[in-house]
Amino acid sequence: MAMPLRAAPPATTVWIEARRDRHATTLLRNPKHSSPNPRFSFQRKRSNERSRSLPLVAATSDSLGSKSAVTSEGLTSSLEGVDVFDITGKAIPITDLWKNRKAVVAFARHFGCVLCRKRADLLASKKELMDAAGVALVLIGPGSTDQAKAFVQQTKFKGEVYADPSHSSFNALDFAYGVSTTFTPLAGMKIIQSYIEGYRQDWGLSLKKNTMSRGGWQQGGTLVAGPGVSNISYIHKDKEAGDDPDIEDVVKACCL
């Protein structure tokens, strides 16, 4: 039975930045996805004052219009006790991925997702720039280590790949989830475009029990973090399937 589809709201892309004066903070949102909003307040400091990432509170709005807090400390706290697994099956605390280095961490919808494979290539296209800046490229998918291995073999992804069988990192970061975030006009257009460009869904991976049990409705996102466990400077939460971050924003956050 056909279901009415409702277009999803703009993506949540947040830059977390603080001046040396902890009381003067700035929240920058992706201009492609936002318009002036009275909920956001800005306190300005001299433009020549050097900035660094610090835990801070910045007001933002979720898809329902209610106010929530985006903080580096809050994000880190939510990830305490969350482990991911490398392709050998070794458990690693997720925050160790950026504890001693800077990393771009992409969260895939699932390992068979055609849109995620295209996004992985998009991020990998900047790998040379990341390497020059000493930044690691990481992808985490909700699924098993066997699925992660298959993803690496099929895509030849140049970064590190980790599995999150329990979806605990996705839950901790409160990524979008649901049928209405998966079947949208944008997602349909992006899938068609991806197929035209030669990308393919791996239905064998997509129909695995641990993916099907959640219906494939999980959405992902991208963050830039480190060095330092609490140093999360950028996060983009997909509001719907195919809602890619602005790659230039990612590069600016990680490498410039």
Encode pLDDT of 187-246 as tens digits. 999 999 999 999 998 887 766 665 655 557 899 999 999 999 999 999 999 999 999 999
Question: How does residue 79 score in pLDDT terms, banded at 50, 70 and 90?
Answer: very high
Nearest to 223 by CA among 238, 204, 208: 238
Range of the domain at 173: 12-17+53-255
Report how many domains make up the chain.
1
User: 235: domain CATH number?
Assistant: 3.40.30.10
Question: Do residues 202 and 76 touch, judged by C-beta distance below 8 A?
Answer: no
**115 assigned to some structural domain:** yes
**68 assigned to some structural domain:** yes
**145 assigned to some structural domain:** yes
**249 assigned to some structural domain:** yes
Residue 174, both tokens: 């409160």
Q: Rounded CA gap, 113 and 206, in Å?
A: 7
**92 assigned to some structural domain:** yes
**28 assigned to some structural domain:** no
Full DSSP string of 136-173: EEEEEESS-HHHHHHHHHHH--SSEEEE-TT-HHHHHT
> How many CB atoms within 10 Å of residue 90?
11
Encode pLDDT of 133-166 as tens digits. 999 999 999 999 999 999 999 999 999 999 999 9
Encode pLDDT of 94-111 as tens digits. 999 999 999 999 999 999
Q: Rounded CA gap, 148 and 73, in Å?
A: 29
